Amino acid sequence: MTEKDKDKVRVYELAKELKLDSRRLIDLLHRLKVENIKNHMSTVEPDAVKTVRDIMEGKLPPEPKPAANHGPVGGPSRPRPAAPAPRMADRPSTAHPPAAHESRPNGRPSVPPRPNDRANYGRPYNNAAPRRDQTGPNASRPMGAERSNRPPYQSGPRPGMNERRGPGAPSGRPNAPMGNRPSGPRPGGARPGGPGPRPQSGGRPGGPPRGNRPLAVPPPPTTTRPNKDQNRRGGPNRERRSSFDEKRGNRNWMDDERYGNKRKKNHKSQERRQEVAMPPVQRRVVISGPIVVKDLAEQLGAKATDLIKRLIALGVMVGVNNELDKETAVIVATEMGAQVEERASVEEREEILLQGDEDREHELQERPPVVTVMGHVDHGKTSLLDKIRSTRVTASEAGGITQHIGASVIDWNGRSIVFLDTPGHEAFTAMRARGAQVTDVAVLVVAANDGVMPQTIEAINHAKAANVPIVVAINKIDLPDVNPERVRTELTEHGLVAEEWGGDTMMVPVSAHTGEGLDKLLESILLQADIMELKANPNRAASGTIIEAQLDRGRGPVATVLVSRGTLRVGDVFLSGSVYGRVRALINDRGERVKEVGPSMPVEVLGFNQLPEAGDDFVILEDERQAKSIADARASRSRQSSESGSRGVSLDEFYQRLKDEAMQDLNLVLKADVHGSAEALAQSLAKLSNDEARVRVLHIGVGSVTESDVMLAQASGAIIIGFGVSIESKARQLAEREHVDVRQYRIIYEVLDDVKQALTGMLTPKFQEVFLGRAEVREVFRVPKVGAVGGCYVTEGKILRSGQVRVVREGTVIHEGSIASLKRFKDDVREVASGYECGIGLEKFNDIKVGDILEVYTQEEVKAS
Ligand SMILES: Nc1nc2c(ncn2[C@@H]2O[C@H](COP(=O)(O)OP(=O)(O)OP(=O)(O)O)[C@@H](O)[C@H]2O)c(=O)[nH]1
């Protein structure tokens, strides 16, 4: 250890010394722009320690100015917001706001932090350590210097970081002010990441700290925090908080900030406060995490009703069985006169144990870049990857859409590049975004003949939000009359300026068909990797991220993981969420069994006791018993929170419903073939929620639809969506008996379409589909100015000109719409009966093919009984 290292302290040590909650200290350090502060274990540079001490001792003003030179400090003085910083997407797209890494003295961009800080640890992003780049070999790389203006992706708190944490996790919502929660409808005031019952698969509880990531549709609430609306409406919380702040003395400036405390006297609040005045309790309570109201009341020696009244006065609407998050519990207990001791929760202690020590510079070695290919549908992502890997994936994909994240390693010029397959369809936004979180470089595929499309822009935004640099592949240049320059121009409008034009984005014209430009593309990726100086310590226990997980009939739970640091070996004891096990076998991307894999490498892992969850971290522990006990504890916490959630609906939710009386819920049980799809689908479905109807995914799971799924759906009035999975026969029988609607799909668009319709159906008079007839396309005519007309034979029922039509190709619905024309010979007719031929033209659909089945139906209003 160097002299300098001795002066450094870890966050939790400093927090202890200053009698501060570590999260608050982290918050403060972030505000001071001190970099590399990720968690309790992060080290704080001496300068920053001094500044913090000065602030706490009142020598410096309590509202900190971003300090200039606290060791590894971000450059610009833009104050770090308490809430997650706006994504790049929210900023003017053409502007490149200054970023921390632009200000580094060597003119080279520092590698920006990633959105998922846990996926991050062990990644060589430690600017605190001396970096090779200041003198290192790459300093002389010709393009390095030019890159000082690399897109300045945000350096603020990373979006999504907190979302990935479970209840009471150490950094869970460290910055979220109580009065500054997202304003969307959140039943029961449950915070995202709160320990509401998380839809699980196969009983695998998503235990904290990461397992309990929220679905986009918040599950029924359990953990409750003071309510923003109450606050805004002049509720008493502001005043309450003021007094709380005062009691807490040395924390006040941060609490002021957190709670938006203006310290104005509010007469009404005062009055209300009087109303709920209770005899103070004189107990000492220890709060180390979320706690159920009645348990807190017991600890306080108070009546639960008194506690609830006090909570209501704070704007927290709860029942006795609801859970309070730690922060709220501390506030209310203090308010009630208790002496409160805040302790690190079990989760926090776990987190410290699992994170281990940070790597030192000399332990780090170069590692291959992990690359995600992104882009608009059909721009050639799969083809490009295929060409690079010289394999063919496209043919086997359902509906021609990439649906799972896979990974493969390319060896090129003696170096490796790891490619993650990320899907291109919008519905997989979540998966793609997650892909970007383990990604070092994003390859943005833009078809030269199509140019920038909506999902191109989305991909750019995701990469920017994830601080992932983009290399553009302008694809399909083998096509005639394509113009790569046009793509360059269009991309400029979205903040990506080609190097040739003085910008800093490498743009490489390629053809996935002919292979032209691919070498240049790989070279550019490696160049980008060099600039980033990707490093990891291979000589330590492995940790990384679960990329994909599925149940294999023969092999049991199989997870594809990406090692972010350390070396993963057969026999290692691992832990991921509440799943643990011993690595039985490792299989690389070529299907070979290997004994160990190092940083950046993807590998299939066998040996999990249950399915881990895609997107979760994994760590290697020394002791299997320890892994088991942490896994069990996480599972039981998760169970408890879902149980406490199922017992009651909070008043807050009730209120919300009253307020939005038109709001209705569409409850769904979602089963999919793999976790990634399920998760992505859940998020896409949630996005269909509108002002009047909300999609709520009650349960997501992997594998066939089972009896218990049907029972759940029956009990909660839900529809079951099976995506790429079958229905067990008993489940089917039960569903029929109980009139549970089970729908099976293979194509994601269809799920979204159907659910969209279901949402509409909920709000308008109910309609049911009435089958009219079916026709088979036997010939296709191209009629000038009209388009394609199918020469059809009616095989069943009758075709009505006024009917709706569904085009089914090889068992898959490829289009739904209206009939534009129905003819018998040259005459327009209203209907054609079974056994006759006719010509059918469809509105806005010209892709009729021989063999297509046209199913014609109508919608009839269902009379209320
Ligand atoms: N001419 C030409 N066609 C290409 C090229 N690359 C891809 N295509 C074609 O473009 C279509 C779409 O290619 P995919 O690779 O499936 O595109 P994708 O972006 O992976 O599509 P999704 O998985 O649906 O998002 C296919 O018909 C390919 O044959 C290219 O370089 N030149």
Q: In the listed set 710, 738, 762, which residue is the last one of a domain according to the structure? A: 762
Q: Are 373 and 488 within one domain?
A: yes
CA distance from start to end of the chain: 79
Residue 546 parent element (H or E):
strand 543-552
Q: How many domains does the structure of the chain reveal?
A: 6
On whether both 632 and 748 belong to a single domain, the answer is no
377 lines ligand 1 (CB under 6 A): yes
Distance CA 63, CA 253 (A): 7
Please provide the DSSP assignment of 231-246 as one string.
HHTT-THHHHHHHHHH
ipTM of the complex: 0.98
pLDDT exceeds 60 at position 429 = no
Mean pLDDT to the nearest integer, 461-489: 87
Domain boundary among 605, 639, 673: 639
Of ligand 1's listed atoms, the one at least distance from the Cα of 511 is 31
Q: Is this prediction's pTM over 0.95?
A: no
pLDDT mean over 730-753: 79
Minimum-distance ligand 1 atom for the alpha carbon of 375 = 19
**% of residues, the chain, pLDDT over 90:** 18
- The confidence band for 353, taking pLDDT boundaries of 50, 70 and 90, is low
Residue 63 within a domain: no
User: Which pLDDT score, from 0 to 100, does residue 262 have?
Assistant: 36
Position in ligand 1 atom list of the atom nearest CA 402: 23
Task: Tell me what pLDDT residue 208 has.
Answer: 33
Indicate whether 372 and 510 sit together in one domain.
yes
Annotated binding site: 375-382, 421-425, 475-478
* 474, HSE (Cβ side, Cα atoms, 13 Å): 24
Percent of the chain, pLDDT > 70? 60
Residues 733 and 791 in one domain: no
Predicted pLDDT at 39? 64
β partners of residue 671? 701, 722
pLDDT at residue 561 above 70? yes
Nearest CA to ligand 1 atom 27: 378
Question: Which ligand 1 atom sits closest to the C-alpha of 510?
Answer: 31
User: Is the Cβ atom of 450 under 6 angstroms away from ligand 1?
Assistant: no
- Statement to judge: residues 614 and 480 lie in one domain: no
Domain contains 727 = yes
Residue 325's closest CA among 195, 484, 447? 195
Atom of ligand 1 nearest to the CA of 475: 31
| Type and span of the H or E element at 230 | helix 228-232
pLDDT at 99 over 80: no
With a cut of 60, say whether residue 629 has pLDDT above it: yes
d(CA 491, CA 604): 37
- Cβ distance 194 to 187 under 8 Å? no
CA gyration radius for the chain?
A: 29
Domain at 597, CATH number: 2.40.30.10
> Which residue do the tokens 């890159």 mark?
147
Q: Is 263 a member of any domain? A: no
pLDDT, position 132 = 32
In a domain, 176, yes or no: no
Query: How high is the pLDDT of residue 454?
Result: 75
Which DSSP string do the residues of 457-525 spell out, in sequence order? HHHHHHHHHTT--EEEEEE-TTSTT--HHHHHHHHHTTT--BGGGTSSB-EEE--TTT-TTHHHHHHHH
Q: Tell me: the pLDDT tens digits for 46-98?
A: 888 888 888 777 776 654 444 433 433 333 333 333 333 333 333 333 333 33
537 vs 132: which has the higher pLDDT:
537
- DSSP letter for 88, please: G
Q: Is 473 in the pocket of ligand 1 (CB under 6 A)?
A: no
Q: Is 475 in the pocket of ligand 1 (CB under 6 A)?
A: yes
Which of 141-145, 398-402, 631-635 shows the lowest per-residue confidence on average (mean pLDDT)?
A: 141-145
- Return the half-sphere exposure (C-beta side, CA atoms, 13 A cut-off) of residue 154: 25
SS (H, E, C) 571-623: CCEEEECCEEEEEEEEECCCCCEECEECCCCEEEEEEECCCCCCCCEEEEECC
Return all residues near 670 (Cβ < 8 A) that are at least 6 apart.
199, 678, 681, 682, 685, 697, 699, 700, 701, 720, 721, 723
The phi, psi pair for 572, rounded to 5°, reads -65, 150
Distance CA 702, CA 642 (A): 19
**414 to 417, 596, 832: CA distances (angstroms):** 10, 20, 67
| Secondary structure of residue 691 in the 3-state scheme | coil
Task: Tokens 């501390």: give the residue.
Answer: 330
114, pLDDT greater than 60: no
pLDDT value, residue 780:
93
Protein residue with its CA nearest to atom 21 in ligand 1: 378
Average pLDDT, integer, range 291-304: 87
The finding on whether 277 has its CB within 6 A of some atom of ligand 1 is no
Q: Is 300 helix (H, G, I), strand (E, B) or coil?
A: helix
- Testing ligand 1's pocket by substitution, the residue of 383, 432, 476 carrying the most ligand atoms inside 8 A of its CB is 383
- Name the residue with tokens 């269909």: 688
Q: Which of 184, 191, 193 minimizes the C-alpha distance to 161?
A: 193
Using a 6 Å cutoff on CB, does residue 447 contact ligand 1?
A: no
Query: How far away, in angstroms, is 385 Cα from ligand 1 center?
Result: 10
Range of the domain at 329: 284-351
Going by CA atoms, what residue is nearest to atom 30 of ligand 1? 476
Confidence of residue 407 (pLDDT cuts 50, 70, 90): confident
CA of 142 from ligand 1 middle (Å) equals 33
User: Considering only CA atoms, which residue is closest to atom 23 of ligand 1?
Assistant: 401
How far away, in angstroms, is 199 Cα from ligand 1 center? 35
Out of 692, 727, 762, a domain closes at 762
516 and 370 in one domain?
yes
Q: Who contacts 629 (Cβ-Cβ below 8 Å, separation ≥6)?
A: none
Q: How many CB atoms lie within 10 A of CB 780?
A: 17
Closest alpha carbon to 89 in 432, 379, 462: 462
Q: Using one digit for the tens of pLDDT, what is the confidence trace for 308-327?
A: 888 877 777 777 888 888 88
- Residue 139 has what DSSP assignment? G
> Predicted confidence band at 650 (pLDDT cuts at 50, 70, 90)?
very low
How far is the centre of ligand 1, averaged over its atoms, from the C-alpha of 441 (Å)?
21
User: Higher model confidence: residue 236 or residue 58?
Assistant: 58
Q: Which amino acid is at 320?
A: V
Backbone angles phi, psi at 63, to 5 degrees: -85, 105
Q: Which residue has the tokens 């400036």?
A: 253
Distance between CA atoms of residues 816 and 844, nearest Å: 10
Question: How far away, in angstroms, is 376 Cα from ligand 1 center?
Answer: 10
Least confident of 273-282, 463-472, 500-509, 756-765: 273-282
CB 286 within 8 A of CB 310: no
What confidence score (pLDDT) does residue 784 get? 84
Quickly tell me which residue has 């479970």 as its tokens. 166
The answer to whether 527 and 506 have CB atoms below 8 angstroms apart is: yes
Q: Render pLDDT for 792-820 as a digit per residue (tens, 0 to 9).
A: 999 989 999 999 998 888 766 688 889 99
Query: Residue 345: pLDDT band by 50, 70, 90 thresholds?
Result: low
Query: Which tens digit of pLDDT belongs to each residue from 815-860?
Result: 888 999 999 988 999 999 999 999 999 998 989 999 999 989 887 7
153 CA to centre of ligand 1 in angstroms: 29
Q: Is the CB of 387 under 6 A from ligand 1?
A: no
Binding site for GTP: what residues are annotated? Answer: 375-382, 421-425, 475-478
What CATH number is attached to the domain comprising 290?
Answer: 1.10.10
Question: Rounded CA gap, 261 and 258, in Å?
Answer: 8
Q: Which residue has the higher pLDDT, 61 or 139?
A: 61
The DSSP-derived string for 775-805 is: EEEEEEEEETTTEEEEEEEEEEEEEETTSEE
Q: Residues 522, 399: one domain?
A: yes
Peptide bond into 209 cis (omega under 30): yes
pLDDT for the residue 598: 94
- 383 CA to centre of ligand 1 in angstroms: 5
State pLDDT tens for residues 169-184. 333 333 333 333 333 3
Burial environment of residue 53 by CB neighbours within 10 A (0 to 12, 13 to 18, 19 or more): middle
The residue nearest atom 6 of ligand 1, judged by CA position, is 380
Identify whether residues 688 and 809 lie together within a single domain: no
- Say if CB 195 and CB 230 are below 8 A apart: no
Determine the Cα angle at 753 with ends 748 and 754, to 5°: 100
Q: What's the mean pLDDT when you consider all of the chain? A: 68
Say which DSSP state 290 is in. -
Q: Average pLDDT for residues 180-203, to the nearest whole number? A: 34
Report d(CA 723, CA 741) in Å as an integer.
Answer: 14
245 compared with 678, residue with greater pLDDT: 678
- Local confidence band at 861 (pLDDT 50, 70, 90 cut-offs): low
Q: Is the pLDDT of residue 269 over 70?
A: no
Q: Which residue has the tokens 């070999």?
A: 137
Among 142, 201, 277, 5, CA closest to 723: 201
Ligand 1, atom nearest to 394 Cα? 16
Ligand 1 mean position, distance from CA 425 (Å): 13
Query: Contact, 584 vs 375, CB < 8 A?
Result: no
Q: In the structure, what pLDDT confidence band is assigned to residue 498 with cuts at 50, 70 and 90? A: very high
CA-wise closest residue to 372 among 466, 235, 491: 466
pLDDT at 141: 34
- In the block, residue with structure tokens 């509010």: 266
pLDDT interval class at 523 (50, 70, 90): very high
Q: Are residues 453 and 489 located together in one domain of the fold?
A: yes
**Are residues 476 and 482 in contact, defined by beta-carbon separation less than 8 angstroms?**
yes
* pLDDT band at residue 728 using 50, 70 and 90 as cut-offs: confident
CA distance 499 to 472: 11
pLDDT digit string (tens) for 566-625? 999 999 999 988 888 899 999 888 778 899 999 999 999 998 878 888 778 888 988 888
CB of 516 within 6 A of ligand 1: the answer is: no
Cβ of 796 below 6 Å from ligand 1? no
Question: What is the reported pLDDT for 640?
Answer: 58
Q: How far is the CA of 512 from the centre of ligand 1 (A)?
A: 8
Q: Which mutation among 372, 382, 401, 511 tests ligand 1's pocket best, with the greatest number of atoms within 8 A of CB?
A: 382
In a domain, 123, yes or no: no
Does residue 683 sit within a domain?
yes
Q: In the predicted model, what is the mean pLDDT of residues 392-418?
A: 62
Atom of ligand 1 nearest to the CA of 379: 19
Q: What is the model's pLDDT at position 701? A: 76
pLDDT at 222: 38
Residue by residue, what is the 3-state secondary structure of 703-764? CCECHHHHHHHHHHCCEEEEECCCECHHHHHHHHHHCCCEEEECCHHHHHHHHHHHHHHHHC
Cα 168 to ligand 1 centroid, rounded to whole Å: 45
Q: What's the average model confidence in pLDDT over 34-43?
A: 72
In a domain? residue 652: no
- Between 60 and 225, whose confidence is greater? 60
412 with 511, same domain: the answer is yes
DSSP 302-359: --HHHHHHHHHHTT----TTPEEPHHHHHHHHHHTT-EEEE---HHHHHHHHHH-PPP
pLDDT the model gives residue 210: 33
**Top mutation candidate among 376, 377, 378, 392 for ligand 1, by most atoms within 8 Å of CB:** 378
Report which ligand 1 atom has the smallest distance to the Cα of 512: 31
Which comes out higher in pLDDT, residue 774 or 220?
Answer: 774
Q: Is 512 in the pocket of ligand 1 (CB under 6 A)?
A: yes
Per DSSP, the three-state class of 194 is coil
In angstroms, what CA-CA distances link 498 with 94, 237, 450, 765? Answer: 13, 52, 18, 53
Q: Which residue matches tokens 């899907």?
A: 423
Q: H or E stretch including 748? A: helix 748-763
Q: Position of tokens 């069985």?
A: 321
State mean pLDDT over 9-25.
75
Examine the pLDDT at 151 and tell me if it is beyond 50: no
Residue 862, judged by CB atoms within 10 A of its CB (0-12, 13-18, 19+), counts as exposed
User: In this predicted model, what pLDDT tens digit does every residue of 238-263 receive, in sequence order?
Assistant: 333 333 333 333 333 333 333 333 33
Flag whether 468 is in a domain. Answer: yes
> In this structure, are 445 and 340 located in the same domain?
no
Q: Which residue has the tokens 């003395």?
A: 249
306 shares its domain with 453:
no
Residue type for position 10: R
CATH number, domain containing residue 706: 3.40.50.10050
Q: Which two tokens stand for residue 24?
A: 């608050």
